[in-house]
Structure 1
Amino acid sequence: MYEVLLVDDEALARNDVKSMLSWEEHGFVICGEAQNGEMALAMMEQHLPHIAIIDVSMPIMDGVELCRRIKKRFAKVKMIMLSSFDDYDYVRTCLMNGAMDYLLKHRLNGEALVSLLNKAVQELQSEEREHEARNAQTRMMESLSPVMLREHVANVAREGHETGDALQEFVRQSGVYADAVTYGTAVVQIVPFLLVTERLTDVQKNDLVHKATEVMQLAVGDVQKRTVGYVGEGRFIVLFSFAERSEHAVMTQMKQAMSALSHTLEKFLNLRSIFTVGSLCGSLRQVAVSYRTADQEMNAMYAQGLQAPMLRETLFHEESKQLRLYVEQLDLDKIVQLLTLMFAEVRTLPAYAIKVQMMVSELLHLMEMTLKRQFAHISPEDHSLIPSRNEIARLHTVPELGEWMIAYYTRVTEVIKKQQAGGPYSRHIAKAVQYITDHYAANISLDSVASALNLNPSYLSRLFKEETGMTFTEYLNRLRIQKSCLHMEAGALALKQISSEVGFVSYTYFFKVFKTITGTTPQAYIDLLKQSKL
């Protein structure tokens, strides 16, 4: 409903206006009545109407003065002026003061009044659309400006000198880097990027890059003075601008900022990084040259030990074949000996060297393939006895990587041995686990399993919790959710069919359990699977 305020010193005239139409049927309501301009302003202070119908001739404050004050203080209010006199000066003054129309009282009728009110509504709606459009454009510019700036800066790193002009034009239009007379760049490389991201989906990788960009930006400061852009493959550019020319002072500030950046990245995201600083320049057109010097130095650092062009295929080829054999044989002594030898051969390289990173990647890949064969429905991260590969991000040296990898292989080998020997459980719990695995899709319970095994339910419940670390229901639900994930990956059944297929009687309960265990909803999990296949 659009609210209308009537302003007229004559009660009879106000009643005439009110009686001319069924207001609510046309989308309007009378929100108040005032006898003069001062009263109308006081009422507007308390509650602002959409439209005011104002008599020109009133005591204390007439309609002309009221019109002027409304325009000044309440510009959104639409004003319709009424008068008993056909005076052009009144008309002109009112229209100049913002009134949308002027009508003689003796010509006013229901049809004319509705027409004027609808005209006011059209103007209100038009102004509201324009206001929303301006706000949307402002919000878009506010949100896109840092994104566009980062992309321009990143393009300079990716494409070189020819993009410097585009960056300079964007800077001129947006007003960033104000008062800058000196520019410099730095290159940041996330050291374990290959290892951390090689098994992530594109969505997960983009999320990691976004988080890293935000953390780095937080560390270096104002994006309009120091801008972080993502170049690719774990490499970033940081463009610095300074309002001073002292090379020593500028270089000192850049190195301090980059040290803080590396510390912050490791503290908040557990990601180690290395950085190099490029040459200084006095123009945005020269930024590409500054980046190139830093990038060349970074490549020299990061590629230490890299000689063979097909490194992934040729890296320790014979050792890898031998290691696979030892893993299949579960010969832990020989596994440790061979891993020790392999890491000894790269001990002189930094942990961030590509050769080291790719060797570690291959070793992880080899063991993960073994795990998939041994635990078909359990991913490495789901097994509580197997250390997470994310721990690698905290390791600083090749010896530390070697020790971690030996511990990783040792732990996994021990888990496989237990699994092949019948599992780590007692006879009763091993049978219970096998029964759950065979009958998870049926309507089973602790009592039914205990009955099948000729055990007391309370005794089975206590023993099950002690050995598995989970209650019977928790274990059963986890297995059912794992099976539901396999069905989702196959894509042959609808969600409600899947919930029934894996043993859930209620889809609502399936939804709740799935979200509790996985941290996401079933549909979101399916959407993520689809995105990873694009």
Structure 2
Amino acid sequence: MFRVLLVDDDALARHDVKSMVDWEKMGFTLCGEAHNGAMALSMMEQQPPHIAIVDVSMPVMNGVELSRRMKESFPQVKMIMLSSFDDYDYVRTCLMNGAMDYLLKHRLNTSALLTLLNKAVQQLQHEEREQEVRSAQSKMIERLSPVILREHVANLARDVHGAGEALQAYARDNDLYPLALTYVTAVIQIVPFLLLTESLTDVQKNRFVQQATEVMQMAVGDIHKRTVGYVGEGRFMVLFASEDRSEHAVTTQINQAMSALAHSLEKFLNLKCVFALGTLCGSLRLVGASYAKANQDVDGMLDQGLHASSRRDSLYMEEQKQLLLFLEQLDLERMHQLIASVFADLRSQPVYANPVQAIVSQMLQLVDMTWQRYHPQASLADYEHAPARNELGRVESVAELEGWLLAYYARMVEAIKQQQQHTGGSSSKLSRHITKAVQFIADHYAANISLDTTANALNLNPSYLSRLFKEETQMTFTEYLNRVRIKKSSMLMESSSYALKQISSEVGFVSYTYFFKVFKSITGMTPQAYMDQLKQSK
């Protein structure tokens, strides 16, 4: 039954319309009567009709205003307008607001009314069919999406409740693995994942993972037979579906595919990996157990040497203090001596062992801390002469890793010296007053701070602070503050979670126009151009 709402302030007119048609017999039901547009809207909010027969001239809210409100809130309801001769201009407006057609009251009869009601039904049925087609297409696209398939596979590794059954149902509904008799998983760990990604933003890290996933998928073949899923923290899973029953044949095929995968990672992304195979199983519901076995084997490789009495998994506190001191003093010789003594305890372990990765990570964090002390307004990764971490992907042994780390420290020291020469600074640290001023800016850049407020907070004369700041940083206080704010705004833009005007406010700019001007002067492009560039890179 199609629901019909009558909207007319004239009770006699409503009675005439009701008496013209055998509503139930013709497939309609009168779901209500409203005396004006406001009352009709209230009733629609409770239960929207399929069709509304609306008089143009009514008190409180006339049919013209009602048609406008219905177009905004109930566009699916078909409107049939009733009017007298002198209301035609209003009717035309109603038609522009989406009304289907109109009837002149003095010509209203059963035949004319049924014609328009059936016309409304045809439109409703046509729109319903179109919606069903769009919904079916949308569901098909969603079901066959590689992202959805990979998520189903990854959920097995994440031990999500019912993941095996969900994957089996998904595969059945989408005709995946149709001839498979045997299933097995492989677990892959990118060896230097922690060291490669800990200094990246979330956007950069996600891009890194996506590239690795695509390269692995390309290496193993058809995603609907061999599916790569990302588990987390540099760990991936491949689900293999084979038509062979022979364990030997299946194992041979998978070993060949995994060798191709490891080769592709190294060739295209300069990444080393370790992997292990799980047990064979005959059902997708049992694949979780296959993953657990492979995952345990990979963990065993990464934890090698961790429990030996002569091994350790972190820097000693004294070593951390000494390295920080040598870094601040730019004493490269003593840095190398200390690093060599630490690696003397690590050389018998594989390069992918967790203790090795953890200790190198600590050493790299000390580098970042030192750089921030010299340049709190800039990231080490943004400086063009700074050492890059992407070379870590080619490291194959602890000895090579030690050599890489020594070179990294050497390049970092050289970067600090070059940056100081570029800004006209000396190799010594900033004075006590300017160090405090720089820290105050880092802590309060988002607030409405100025040279005067900073000087007052530090109990200094503003003129003295201004002169000292310029001498030691080669920038005015305002220039330095603006660079810090623009740097922070760029980081917010990468998250894609804020509008530009909100970002300008978040980093301390009172005026968006001034933010626009400063951003362009420092970066060479407008904020919107920078956002567009980020979107393209994604």
| Same-fold call, TM cutoff 0.5 | yes
Give 1:434's aligned residue.
none
> What do the CA deviations read for 1:271-295 (whole angstroms, capped 9, x no partner)?
3211112222333343233223222
What is the deviation of 1:369?
0.6
TM-fit CA distance, 1:249: 1.8
Partner of 2:89: none
Match of 2:143 in 1: 141
Q: Verify the 8 A CA contact 2:215 2:264 in the aligned structure 1.
A: yes
Tell whether the 8 Å contact from 1:193 to 1:234 is kept in structure 2 after alignment. yes
Aligned mates of 1:263, 1:279 — CA distance in 2: 23
Q: What corresponds to 1:256 in structure 2?
A: 256
Q: CA deviation at 1:177?
A: 1.5
Residue 351 of structure 1 contacts residue 357 of structure 1 at CA under 8 Å; is this kept in 2?
yes
Question: Deviation string for 1:366-400 (max 9, x for gaps)?
Answer: 01110011112221111111111222223222222
Compared with structure 1, are the counterparts of its residues 367 and 155 closer, same or farther at alpha carbon in structure 2 (3 Å cutoff)? same
Determine if the alignment matches structure 1 residue 512 to structure 2 residue 512: no
Tell me the distance in 1 between the aligned counterparts of 2:368 and 2:323. Answer: 13
Give yes or no for contact 1:487–1:493 (8 Å, CA) kept in 2: yes
Partner AA of 1:328 in structure 2: E
- The one-letter amino acid of 2:128's match is S
Identity across the alignment (%): 44
> Is 1:155 aligned to residue 155 of structure 2?
yes
| Contact 1:152 1:167 (C-alpha < 8 Å) held by counterparts | yes
Aligned to 1:283: 283
Alignment partner for residue 497 of structure 1, among 494, 511, 514? 511
Deviation at 1:338, TM superposition (A): 1.6
Deviations 1:137-195 (A, max 9, x none): 2222232xx44443333233332897544443443343321121122211101111111
Deviations along 1:453-509, one digit per CA (max 9) or x if unpaired, are: xxxxxxxxxxxxxxxxxxxxxxxx9996664233676954677825525854x9899
Distance 2:141 2:170 in 1: 18
| Amino acid corresponding to residue 133 of structure 1 in structure 2 | S
Does structure 1 residue 227 correspond to structure 2 residue 227?
yes
Contact 1:480 1:503 in 2 (8 A): no
Distance 1:424 1:325 in 2: 23
- Rounded to whole Å, the distance in 2 between the matches of 1:510 and 1:416 is 22
Distance 1:343 1:501 in 2: 48
* Contact map agreement 1:161 1:286 (CA 8 A) in 2: no
Q: Is the 8 A contact 1:514 1:520 kept in 2?
A: no
Report the CA distance shift for 1:353/1:123 in structure 2 as closer, same or farther (over 3 A): same
Q: 1:422 to 1:289 in 2, by over 3 A?
A: closer
* Structure 2 letter corresponding to 1:340: A
**2:209 corresponds to:** 209
Aligned equivalents of 2:514 and 2:115: distance in 1? 64
Question: Which residue pairs with 1:347 in the alignment?
Answer: 347
- Where do 5+ consecutive residues of structure 2 fail to align? 1-108, 427-449, 451-478, 493-502
In structure 2, the residue matched to 1:171 is 171
Counterpart amino acid of residue 500 in structure 1: Y
Flag the structure with larger Rg. Answer: 1
Identify the residue that residue 397 of structure 1 maps to in structure 2. 397
Q: Paired residue for 1:125?
A: 127
1:19 match: none
The residue number in structure 2 matching 1:241 is 241
- 2:383 is matched with 383
User: Distance in 1 between the 2:304 and 2:270 partners?
Assistant: 23
> 1:331 offset after TM fit, Å?
1.4
8 A Cα contact 2:231 2:237, kept in partner: yes
Where does 1:34-53 land on structure 2 (aligned, <5 Å)?
none
Tell me which amino acid in the other structure corresponds to 1:228. Answer: V
Tell whether the 8 Å contact from 2:242 to 2:250 is kept in structure 1 after alignment: yes
Deviation digits for residues 46-86 of structure 1 (CA, Å, limit 9, x no counterpart): xxxxxxxxxxxxxxxxxxxxxxxxxxxxxxxxxxxxxxxxx
Q: Could you tell me whether the CA contact under 8 Å between 2:516 and 2:527 is conserved in 1?
A: no
Residue identity opposite 1:330 in structure 2: L
Question: Could you say if the C-alpha distance between residues 346 and 282 of structure 1 is closer, same or farther in structure 2, counting changes exceeding 3 Å?
Answer: same
1:349 deviates by: 1.6
Unaligned runs of 5+ in 1: 1-106, 427-440, 442-476, 529-534
Q: In the alignment, does 2:212 pair up with 1:199?
A: no
- Please state whether the residue corresponding to 1:279 is helix, strand or coil: coil
Amino acid at match of 1:270: N
Q: Deviations for 1:69-116, whole angstroms, at most 9, x for unmatched residues?
A: xxxxxxxxxxxxxxxxxxxxxxxxxxxxxxxxxxxxxx9997776666
3-state SS of 2:305 partner: coil
Going from structure 1 to structure 2, the CA distance change for 1:172 and 1:109 (only over 3 Å counts) comes to closer
Q: Deviations over 1:225-280 (max 9, x none)?
A: 11222222211221111111222221111011111112222333333211112222
Q: Which amino acid aligns with 2:175?
A: G
The 5 Å alignment of 1:401-440 reads: 401-419=401-419, 423=423
- 1:117 deviates by 4.8
Helix, strand or coil at the partner of 2:151: helix
* Preserved CA contact (<8 Å) 1:190 1:271: yes
Give the distance between the partners of 2:371 and 2:165, measured in 1 at CA: 53
The answer (yes or no) to whether the contact 2:152–2:167 under 8 Å persists in 1 is yes
In structure 2, the CA distance between the partners of 1:131 and 1:356, relative to structure 1 (3 Å rule), is same
Judge conservation of contact 1:189–1:274 (CA < 8 Å) in 2.
yes
Q: Distance in 1 between matches of 2:162 and 2:128?
A: 44
Q: Give the TM-score taking structure 1 as reference length.
A: 0.59
Q: CA RMSD in A?
A: 4.1
Amino acid corresponding to residue 171 of structure 2 in structure 1: V
> 2:521 and 2:382 mapped to 1: Cα distance?
24
Name the residue aligned to 1:266.
266
Contact 1:500 1:507 in 2 (8 A): no
Q: Are the aligned partners of 2:326 and 2:334 in contact in 1 as well (CA < 8 Å)?
A: yes
Q: Residues 333 and 518 from structure 1, CA distance in 2 versus in 1: closer, same or farther, beyond 3 angstroms?
A: farther
SS of residue in 2 equivalent to 1:124: helix
Is the Cα–Cα contact under 8 Å of residues 312 and 358 in structure 1 kept in the other structure?
no
Structure 1: distance between partners of 2:202 and 2:482: 27
Question: What amino acid is the match of 1:128?
Answer: E
Supply the distance in 2 between the matched residues of 1:163 and 1:346 (Cα, whole angstroms). Answer: 40
One-letter code aligned to 2:340: T
**CA distance in structure 2 between the aligned counterparts of 1:350 and 1:274, rounded to whole angstroms:** 11
Q: What SS does structure 2 have at the residue aligned with 1:512?
A: coil
Shift of 1:303: 1.2
For the structure 1 residues 271 and 511, does the alpha-carbon distance in structure 2 shift closer, same or farther, using more than 3 Å as the test? same
- Partner amino acid, structure 1, of 2:375: F
Distance 1:517 1:478, change over 3 A: farther
Q: CA deviation at 1:362?
A: 0.7
Do the aligned residues in 1 keep the contact of 2:314 with 2:358 (CA within 8 Å)? no
